[in-house]
Chains A and B, each alone.
Chain A
Amino acid sequence: MKLRQIFYLIREGLRNTWQNRLMALASVGVLICCLMLTGFAYLIYVNVEQMFHHAIEQNVVAVFLDKDLTDAQVEKVGITLNSMSNVDKVKLITKEEYLAKYAENLTEGIVESYQGEKNPMPNTYIVSMKDLELFQDTLDEIQKIRGVEEASYDAGVAETLSQIRGVVLAIGGGIIGVLLVVSLFIIVNTIKLTVYNRRLEIYIMKSVGATDGFVRFPFVVEGLLLGVAAGGTGYGLMYLLYQAIVDNLVIKNQLFSLVPFERQWLPLLVGFMAGGMLVGVSGSAISISKYLKQEGSMRS
């Protein structure tokens, strides 16, 4: 196809969109709804993920060491813990620090009597993990390290968080997938109506020797335009709605903290525009190709 033909067809696509503006408006409206629902599913997923990661950071294992370990042995246990693949962070609380932490709860004089060799507190490592799925395996490994007396943890929290994460991933992914398919289906059918309305034009195009590509191009431009319009408008509305939720529900009532929109603006913008264009273009291409193949009155 020559460059001047491409420019002509782009102009035709724009002209067609304007001439079928009511139908175009309906398509854009449907696409905006689908994109916004998908966007909200994404934001819910992002927020749950944030809560999940926040919880993970709180979910630590206290590794109590044998009381008679030398400083070198304590350090060696620390090196072993750091070398484990699923261990994220390791922090040492010496027995002196441990004692000082509890000093305020003890009666006067007792702290002084626990100084030096008499300190009953163990050297303790606070360990956080990367993947909670591997929590139990990692814990078993820690308990096998020489010099470790006991590893204290809250297994319930770890398991519950792991389960929630799985459910969130499945539901979030499922919602996004289903909505994309639904929006594609709706766009295909809306543009099918546009194609049907313009069947005479398509017949004339084919009768004067237009190739399928030539016939298809303006419809694809139209789909692209609808996608961009829906993506841009949907993104704007999404921003306003999410900000309203953050301002009214979260800040005023202080229920919980949500991920600020500013932190997600780029992936959302890319997602809305790419999603809109993808659905618009593929919806148009599917409709017109199907028509040309099956129902085109000027067969070829």
Chain B
Amino acid sequence: MIEFQGVYKDYHTGSHALEDVNLHIDDGEFAFIVGASGAGKSTFLKLIMREETPTSGEIVINNYRLSRLSRKQVPYFRRTMGIVFQDFRLINTMSVFDNVAFPMRVVGAKRRDIRRRVEYVLSLMDLQGKSHRMPLELSGGEQQRVGLARALVNNPSMIIADEPTGNVDPQMSYDIVQMLTEINKRSGTTVLMVTHEHDLVNQFNHRIITLEKGHIVSDTGRPRRTGTVSLGEMAAEMVAEAAVEMGGDAE
């Protein structure tokens, strides 16, 4: 859950990046944040990731009241979310496997669990067989899927995607949003995707929040479910996922 209550953010330069932002995004929602350059999207994300603190107002994310978060609590808060970046931000000296495994190592997961989970997440991203490759040996789309796998590997309750389609072709852009949509539907993970690509956004039936000059100028609200996935399909997928996590076969 993301809650912004009367949030203002001013920088030392005197610019007002965000002004009186009020917003509520429920658990399990998929929301696009759209806006042109300078609309305040980056500041919005920095506040969510606790890279910046608001000048005034209150932000509550995943039950963490960010203004009361101590320096030591920040890493634990960040572990509740997975972040996907526009420029992928993979560690080029690490293999695909190690890049994806990295967040699990940060939390001290067991080696066996890491191997199992990473292989599973890579298979979800259609990256089987590429786990030993280095990031620079992959295409842009593949690198972004590695970034997505890394964001997913710790099973976060929320995924923050910062212009994830900015460096890939239109078809791959569509595929990435489709993947995020699937993740959102299958596991109920909240997805917040920042983008300036209106055409892409309009191809999906998700909530759209538009920022302009630091203000929220429109919010479509949560759309009704269109029933793209049946309950039976969801149940089958959940069973398959659980089976793989327990070391079995998805089939």
Taking beta carbons and an 8 Å cutoff, which residues of A are in contact with B? Answer: 1-2, 4-5, 8, 15, 19, 200-201, 203-212, 214, 297-300
Contacts and interface: CB of A to CB of B under 8 A. Distances in A.
Contacts of B77: 209
Contact of A5 (B75, B91, B102, B108): B108
A209 B75 contact: yes
B78 A209 contact: yes
A208 B108 contact: no
B51 A298 contact: yes
Contacts of A300: 50, 71, 74-75
A204 B71 CA distance: 17
A200 B191 CA distance: 24
Contact of B108 (A2, A204, A297, A298): A2
Interface residues of B, number: 27
Q: Which of B75, B77, B103, B105 has the most CB atoms of chain A within a 10 A radius of its CB? A: B75
B74 A5 contact: no
Given A210-B75, A298-B49, 19 more contacts: A2-B108, A4-B108, A4-B110, A15-B93, A200-B89, A204-B102, A205-B106, A206-B75, A206-B78, A207-B83, A207-B89, A208-B106, A208-B150, A209-B75, A209-B77, A209-B106, A211-B75, A300-B71, A300-B75
A207 B106 contact: no
B79 A208 contact: yes
Contacts of A4: 108, 110-111
A208 B78 contact: yes
B102 A203 contact: no
Interface in B153-207: 154
A298 B83 CA distance: 12
A207 B76 contact: no
The 10 closest A-B pairs by CB, nearest first: A209-B79, A300-B74, A209-B78, A208-B103, A2-B108, A209-B75, A211-B75, A210-B106, A5-B108, A207-B83
